[in-house]
Structure 1
Amino acid sequence: MGSTRRTGRTRRGSVAVTACAAVLAALTAVPAQAHGPQRGTPHWELKDTGTPEVRFRGLAAVSRGTAWAAGTAGTVLRTTDGGASWRNVSPPGAGEMQFRDVEAFDARRAVVLAIGEGEASRIYRTDDGGATWTESFRNTDPKAFYDCVAFFDHRHGLALSDPVDGRFRILSTRDGGRTWTVLPDRGMPAAQEGEAGFAASGQCLVTSGPKDVWLATGGAAHARVLHSADRGLTWRATELPLPAGDPARGVFALAFRDRAHGLAVGGDYRPGRPSPRAAARTSDGGRTWHPATTPPPAYRSGVAWLPHGRTAALAVGPTGTDLTTDAGRTWRTVGTGSFDTVDCAPDHGCWAAGEKGRVARLEH
């Protein structure tokens, strides 16, 4: 949903652009092999969540002060003070749930997605900062497995399931996630054998503007991205030059800064396996994709554009963080900490999350 936020020609907007330029300049100056954060340079600063047993693959950056994280053991956390303290706002009775995505509209309203076969796939919504939750969807089809959720605005959103009867299944909401309907699949291309979405970072389904949405796939002979310009009714599939041909390979995350310019990252998620060509870019809405000339050195599961800019983005994975300053043509490693997902808010509040309760904010 973050891609739907816009900044007008206001004083606040100009300040944000200036801040972005300063962060970008400092990030570019960070040596690739730096052993620790240098004074005055941007770096991930870990925030103590008090949950070392939880892996957070769901993340929603609302601002520098407010963020939501969702993960294993049915855990949902929220901070409103920049990560100085975290409130456990997990839905009651959700201890067995595996939350993989969270979409937050603000500090009080959020939607979380739990993954799994059959009834393990569920969606919850809160309107009071997690004090109470409503289960708004429970999957009853044993062949469905939901991976990601994304919103166009505060009302309209979609959720993605792995293929059912040979085609990806799409859920739709028109009331902010309070109710959901399965969309007809006649406009969905046939899935490849073994093709699925990766519930690795909450970024296998992303939107830009009021109607454009993209979904990422892997596990099959070809890694693909499917695009819809009508909120999920009809789709067009394009093959990507990312690792494929194995259940562990494919596109794991997407980011679009507008309806034309997008980034894809992925590879082979198995530790120690090579992931050549782990990133690609598009400038035509996903009709064509070009491999990065200097890709990240290993598998990456999350990617996010730095706000208020046109060329800078961050990619994260278990072995580090990479930066591009040329819209995905080349990437360089700027950190070695383990993260699964990354998200940035309009006020340049960038957050990352991952294993062992790790949540961090970009500091400078």
Structure 2
Amino acid sequence: MKKTLLALSLLLGLSLHGYSQGSPPIVSFQAQNSNLPTGNRFGSIQAIDANTAWGVAGTPVTSGTTTTFNPTRYVRTADGGTTWTQGLVTTSGLTNYGVANISAVSATTAWASIYPVAAGGSSGIVRTTDGGQTWTRQTTAAFSASGAFTNWVHFFDANNGVCMGDPTAQGTSTVPFFEIYTTSNGGTTWTRLPRTTAITSVTGEYGVVNQFYASGNNIWFLTGYDTGLSNSVKVLRSTDRGLTWTSGGPTPFIEQASGIAFSSATNGLAWQLESLAVTTDGGTTWADRPYSTAFRASDVAAIPGSNIFVCVGTDARVASPTAADIGTSISRDLGATWTTIDNAAQYTAVSFASGTIGYAGGFASTTPTGTVTGAVGKYTGGNILSNRNPELQKALSVYPNPSSNGVFTVQLKAGMKAGASVRVVDVVGRQVVAQQLNATAIATNATTVDLSKEKAGIYMLELRTDAGVAQQKLVVE
């Protein structure tokens, strides 16, 4: 229910909207024109594949010392960022609302979560199947009780999704619990989860707009608390696409946090402005994470198939940042150290679909000639996942390759440790297989990858271990 991002006042106070070269210059994102009206900024962005990305944007409004940000626009590319389209997320009957996030599965199909910005405002889920030109309310995700407030929606694929809102009571009960719905048919029907201990709220507890993260079938969200309660921020987790939930251990943060991101079922980061926390057990326990290099707190995302995190914004260590402090950083060690990979633009949102496919969203600004430009950066640097281990690469072999039935045996290097993983992506960067090596695979130095349900074509297998990465092209006939 908290609508103003904790870092927003810091971002807006900089007046750095747009592009400002750091020193020495480091450029890994190519500036693209989002076609957003000047003054708009991104609230979130989602990279889907080499061609497709979606975002949410709007205009922050400042009144006195208070800044609110209730975006209502979608932004979309279907051609790798060559052109971007934008428009309002709207349909008949929506009033006094903002868009918490958009979850897309293709260039045409996406869902948006709607929250009220004033008394009597709208709350719920809307869907588009024509790239944002029209949106339709999905009424079985009701969010109609007193106090209803939708915080986010996420789809794991075109059919299976989950959405979450602030605690409300149900039926004749007076006990509030988080309003969570799931669907297995693309939102044609949504079903609210029954009350359980894990999702029953305490006094003054609520959800936070767009503060969730999904990795595989796992999904997590943060809760917040009314000022003065001094409660530790809580993390709730589902391992089955939102069907059941457990409550994790408390984070080090009191009442509010800025965000959460996970690179796997176990490894994750949470942050509150400049303070960073880490978990290695899926959110059951959290610990402070000291760091000494440029962590940026506007947004954090994991790069799929890795334990690499990327963050955007200003250097969180700097109390009064200037243009020299904007940028994008990555961490390969769960947030202990951060390396700047771009310092040419100030971004507020970031997302990667792979080690080479990523987008960041920022501010739409006006040039001296009156042209509205910028707001989007497309990643054009090298493969962030490239950390090849020559010995690992030499030992990796796959057979049969090509495969007539799509089933491959992967021969591994002897002596591998637990925690190694295998992922396969198609030619547009879509992940089709992701699996951790079990004890049998490690003991026998072999595992099986099954692409029998995929189309004939070329795929890329990636073996990732603590010692580095190895890759192998696969061909399905």
| TM bracket (short chain) | 0.7 to 0.9
Q: 1:237 to 1:144 in 2, by over 3 A?
A: farther
Residue 152 of structure 1 is aligned with which of 142, 152, 156? 156
Per-residue deviation, residues 125-180 of structure 1 (Å, max 9, x unmatched) = 12222233221145312312111112233322111212235432212121123332
Q: CA deviation at 1:298?
A: 7.5
Q: Secondary structure of the residue that 2:164 maps to in structure 1?
A: strand
2:332 is the alignment partner of 1:330? no
C-alpha distance in 2 between matches for 1:362 and 1:226 = 32
CA distance in 2 between counterparts of 1:205 and 1:308 reads: 19
Counterpart in 2 of 1:61?
47
Q: Tell me which residue corresponds to 1:82.
A: 80
Aligned equivalent of 2:194, options 169, 177, 184 = 184
Is 1:351 the equivalent of 2:359? yes
Q: Which has the larger radius of gyration?
A: 2
Greater CA drift, 89-98 or 127-136: 89-98
Change (3 A) 1:47 1:193: farther
Are positions 1:206 and 2:213 aligned together?
yes
Aligned to 2:310: 314
Structure-1 residue corresponding to 2:130: 128
Counterpart position of 2:106 = 106
Q: Which has the higher strand share?
A: 2
- Shift, 1:115, TM fit: 1.8
Q: What secondary structure sits across from 2:35 in the alignment?
A: coil
Question: Counterpart amino acid of 2:271?
Answer: V
Change (3 A) 1:257 1:66: same
Aligned letter for 1:112?
Answer: A
1:82-128 Cα distance to aligned partner (Å, 9 max, x none):
33322235345468541121111111111111222665222111222
Which of 158, 175, 184 pairs up with 1:174?
Answer: 184
Residue 270 (structure 2) pairs with residue 264 (structure 1): yes
State the partner residue of 1:241. 252
Q: Distance in 2 between the 1:360 and 1:216 partners?
A: 28
C-alpha distance in structure 2 between counterparts of 1:121 and 1:296, whole Å: 40
- Give, in whole Å, the separation in 1 of the partners of 2:153 and 2:293: 26
Give the secondary structure class of the aligned counterpart of 2:266. coil
Match of residue 52 from structure 1: 38
TM-score of the pair, normalised by structure 1: 0.74
Which has the bigger relative contact order, CA under 8 A and spacing at least 6? Answer: 1
Tell me the distance in 1 between the aligned counterparts of 2:78 and 2:194. Answer: 39
**What is the distance in 2 between the residues matched to 1:169 and 1:295?**
39
Aligned to 1:362: 379
Q: Once the 2 structures are TM-superposed, how far is the Cα of residue 215 of structure 1 from its aligned partner?
A: 0.9
Decide whether the 8 Å contact of 1:226 with 1:235 is kept in 2. Answer: yes
**Alignment-derived partner of residue 196 in structure 1:** 206
Tell me the amino acid that sits aligned with residue 22 of structure 2.
H
Q: Is the 8 A contact 1:170 1:232 kept in 2?
A: no
State the one-letter code of the partner of 1:206: Y
2:127 aligns to what SS in structure 1? strand
Amino acid across the alignment from 2:348: D
Alpha-carbon distance change, 294 to 229 in structure 1, aligned in 2, over 3 angstroms? same
Amino acid at match of 1:323: I
Instruction: State the shift of 1:218 in Å.
Output: 2.7
Q: Give me the whole-angstrom Cα distance separating, in 2, the residues matched to 1:317 and 1:266.
A: 14
**Cα distance change, pair 52–185 in 1 and its aligned pair in 2 (3 A):** farther
Counterpart residue type for residue 35 of structure 1 = G
Q: Which amino acid aligns with 2:235?
A: V
Matches within 5 A, 1:278-317: 279-294=276-291, 300-310=297-307, 312-317=308-313
Q: Using the alignment, how far apart are the partners of 1:299 and 1:218 within structure 2?
A: 21
TM-score, structure 2 normalization: 0.58
Measured in 2, the distance between the counterparts of 1:62 and 1:74 equals 21
* Paired amino acid for 1:59: I
Is the 2:32–2:378 Cα contact (8 Å) retained in structure 1? yes
CA RMSD of aligned residues (A): 3.0
- Is the Cα–Cα contact under 8 Å of residues 181 and 191 in structure 2 kept in the other structure? yes
Q: Percent identity?
A: 28
Give me the whole-angstrom Cα distance separating, in 2, the residues matched to 1:336 and 1:179.
45
* 2:57 partner letter: G
Distance verdict in 2 for CA 1:205–1:292, change over 3 Å: same
CA distance in 2, matches of 1:163, 1:341: 27
